[in-house]
Amino acid sequence: KAGVTQTPRYLIKTRGQQVTLSCSPISGHRSVSWYQQTPGQGLQFLFEYFSETQRNKGNFPGRFSGRQFSNSRSEMNVSTLELGDSALYLCASSWGLAAYNEQFFGPGTRLTVL
Amino acid sequence: AQTVTQSQPEMSVQEAETVTLSCTYDTSESDYYLFWYKQPPSRQMILVIRQEAYKQQNATENRFSVNFQKAAKSFSLKISDSQLGDAAMYFCAYTLETSGSRLTFGEGTQLTVNP
C-alpha cells in the first residue's frame, strides 16, 4: 500500500506570493491533517479535513486555507507569503476522525520564503 | 492551555544500552491518547508507540515501552538495546477524545546513539 505522498517536496517562493501544497492520503483514508514544523515553534496543527469538510482548525491566520476533494486528496494554500512561513509542512492521513486512529505522515514539503 | 513538555532537548546513549526519554503533559480532559513519534533525518514521522489514557497497563512495542503515570501526567519512553537506527528526533504527543485527530506535540528530544 502506498504511503502518504506530498508534492512538491521543495519549494522556494518570495514574500507576497502564494503557494499551494498537495497531499494524497493512503488509499481508504478519509481524514487528512496538516502541520507546520519550524525550529522556533515546533510542530503546530493547521487544520483537519474529513469527507471534504474542515473539522478542526488550529490557531493560524486566514492566509492559511485548505480543502479536501472527493477522493480525499487535500491541498493547503498560503497567500501573501511572509518570511515566517518558511517551514516544513507535514500532512498526515488516518482512516477516520477518531482520536485513537493512527496517523500516517507524509515526507513533508519544505517551503522557503525569500 | 493544553501543553506537552519534553525537558531533554538532547540525549545520547551507547549502542545496546537503555535510554529513557521524558514527557509531561497538561490537559483537563480525562479521555485522551498519548503517542511517541520518531522523526529521523529523512523527516518522515513514524509512530513508535501509543497509549490509551484509560488503560492502566503500559504499552510495549518490541524494544520500546512506556511508563504512563496518569495522575502525574507523565509519559516517558524507554528504548532498550538501543540501535544506531534509533537515532532520531522523538516527539511526545497526545490527542483528545473530543478533538479528533488533532495532535499536540512536545518540543522534541534529539537522540544520538553512539557506536
pLDDT tens readout for residues B73-113: 999 999 999 999 999 999 999 999 888 889 999 999 999 99
CA quadruple B31, A90, A86, B34: dihedral, nearest 10: 20
Q: Which of A35, A42, A104 sits opposite B107 (nearest CB)?
A: A42
pLDDT at B9: 96
Q: Which residue of A has its CA nearest to B52?
A: A100
Place of cell 544520538: B112
B8-31 confidence digits (pLDDT tens): 999 999 999 999 999 999 998 889
Q: Which of B42, B99, B105 sits opposite A56 (nearest CB)?
A: B99
- Above 70 in pLDDT, residue A13? yes
From CA B7, how far away is CA B92, in angstroms rounded? 11
> Where does the pLDDT of residue B2 fall: very low under 50, low under 70, confident under 90, or very high at 90 and above?
low
Q: Which residue of B has its CA nearest to A89?
A: B43
Of A35-49, A70-84, A88-102, B7-21, least confident by mean pLDDT is A88-102
Span A86-103, average pLDDT: 90
- Above 80 in pLDDT, residue B1? no
